[in-house]
């Protein structure tokens, strides 16, 4: 089992080293309010990142969204994606999947808050064929802790020397989760 306290220290140290300055952390009451808005709790490791490291602005490449605050946040992007998904004939954003980072070109890193380990998913809309929205979902990592360890080691698919993510497997639960009304 990973030492989450140690992981938080290492993530915080790398974030501070890379960014120079970090946003203030999320207060406990802000976390409670965010979870109320979302309608689900954050996995403990994700909650700790926001409450102990910073309210976004750190992490791989394009950096974590702030959880709360002004502008574009993880909460606002989730609510927007869910609203668009529910207004379409074919849902494309499952309930309980929180976008944490915008990779650009419509792609997101997202955490499946319904999975016990906080699986990190890649939403890649360019993979959609016809109405098969489930084809846009891939597993980047089965566990948020492992995903963070990959970032800390500089080994993510998004790194300059990486292979581009071709190794990612489709998210097997995508079709079922989308057919449940998202």
pLDDT score, position 166: 54
Between β-strands 169-170 and 97-104, what pairing exists: parallel, antiparallel or unpaired? unpaired
pLDDT score, position 181: 63
β-bridge partners, 129: 132
Query: What's the rounded mean pLDDT across residues 90-95?
Result: 84
Query: In angstroms, how far is CA 145 from the centroid of its own chain?
Result: 12
What band does 26 get if pLDDT is binned at 50, 70 and 90?
very high
pLDDT of 159 over the 70 cut: yes
Q: Which of 51-60, 70-79, 140-149, 171-180 has the lowest mean pLDDT?
A: 171-180
Query: What's the rounded mean pLDDT across residues 110-139?
Result: 92
pLDDT of 1 over the 60 cut: no
Query: What's the rounded mean pLDDT across residues 96-110?
Result: 96
CATH 2.40.50.140 fits 4-156+166-179, yes or no: no
pLDDT of 165 over the 60 cut: no
pLDDT of 164 over the 70 cut: no
In this predicted model, which residue has the larger pLDDT, 169 or 61? 169
Q: Which of 7-11, 24-28, 82-86 has the lowest mean pLDDT?
A: 82-86
């Amino acid at each position: 089992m990973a030492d989450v306290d140690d992981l938080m220290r290492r993530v915080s140290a790398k974030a501070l080293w890379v960014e120079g300055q970090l946003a203030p952390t999320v207060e406990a009451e802000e976390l409670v309010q965010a979870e109320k808005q979302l309608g689900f709790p954050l996995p403990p490791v994700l909650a700790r990142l926001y409450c102990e490291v910073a309210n976004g602005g750190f992490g791989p490449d394009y950096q974590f969204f702030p959880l709360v605050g002004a502008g574009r946040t993880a909460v606002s992007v989730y609510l927007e994606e869910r609203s668009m998904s529910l207004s379409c004939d074919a849902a494309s954003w499952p309930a309980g999947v929180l976008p944490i980072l915008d990779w650009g070109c419509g792609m997101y890193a997202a955490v499946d808050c319904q999975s016990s380990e906080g699986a990190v998913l890649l939403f890649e809309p360019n993979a959609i064929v016809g109405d098969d929205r489930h084809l846009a979902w891939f597993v980047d990592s089965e566990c948020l802790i492992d995903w963070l360890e990959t970032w800390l080691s500089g080994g993510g698919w998004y790194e300059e020397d990486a292979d581009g993510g071709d190794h990612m497997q489709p998210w097997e639960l995508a079709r079922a989760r989308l057919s449940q009304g998202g």
